[in-house]
Amino acid sequence: MGEPIETLEGWYVLHDFRRINWPRWHSLDPKDQSQARRDLEEIFAQYGSVQPDQGSSALYSILGHKADLLFLHFRPEPKELLTIERQLDQSMAGSVLTRPYSYFSVVELSRYLAKGLSEDQIHTTLKPRLEPAIPDVSYISFYPMNKRRQGQDNWYMATREERRELMKNHGIIGHRYHDQVIQIITGSQGLDDWEWGVTLFADDLIPIKKLVYEMRFDEASARFADFGPFYVGSKLTAGEWQLLWQGPPTPL
């Protein structure tokens, strides 16, 4: 029988994906469009004013059909994330946004990393990883995942030592890309439909592609990992955010 591994939890995380309803946008009169733009300017300014010890937020333009935008938030308490959601939903800007997907989780580390450390030392040594700032790089790739529970490939029936060795090899691959890709793992057991969320940040998408591909050949992934959909996007600056709302031409 497998034994659970104790984890350390940090900040709560919301991946809030939105889609722009362009017909709805074009149906607004100029006054309401102006109000929506002001709402977005204020919201964007608030995101930028969050103190580092109180979390961070960033906005991304998502490639492909799955969504248009990602509002990414890290906060100490889930109630803060709920407030952030409602603020956008209740604004004029929120009236032209739908939500095709969202993911709620919490930054998670294995207690293996704290071996030999006191509680005070854990807070000091691991704080940057438990309470991370959103990296200031160009691209993001997010996907949820589960550990498989099928026949002989049941992660939760493996011994603690077996799982530790598998994840050790997994980590070796990740370390080879540490100077190109920043990885933040969040746990969501009991919080969302998948067990973990993986968020990768980089200034170039190719290292992300190579990292994920190489890990598919590692036993921890090849035998035990089931992956959800991938969402890829580029970080938006305030100026790019405003240009976005010019949108496609008004239909004839």
CATH code of the domain made up of 8-244: 3.30.70.1030
- What is residue 208's predicted lDDT score, i.e. its pLDDT? 97
Give the model confidence (pLDDT) of 122-180 as tens digits: 778 889 999 999 999 999 999 999 999 988 888 888 888 888 888 888 888 888 999 99
User: Nearest 5°: phi and psi at 19?
Assistant: -120, 140
DSSP string, 158-187: S-HHHHHHHHHHHHHHHHTTTTT-EEEEEE
- pTM reported for the whole predicted model: 0.92
Task: Delimit the domains of the chain by residue range.
Answer: 8-244
Give the model confidence (pLDDT) of 23-62 as tens digits: 999 999 999 999 998 888 888 888 888 999 999 999 999 9
- What is residue 79's predicted lDDT score, i.e. its pLDDT? 97
Q: List the catalytic residue out of 47, 139, 143, 231.
A: 143
- What is residue 248's predicted lDDT score, i.e. its pLDDT? 54
Tokens describing residue 59: 């906005």
Question: Alpha-carbon distance 215 to 221, whole Å?
Answer: 6
Active site residue 231: no
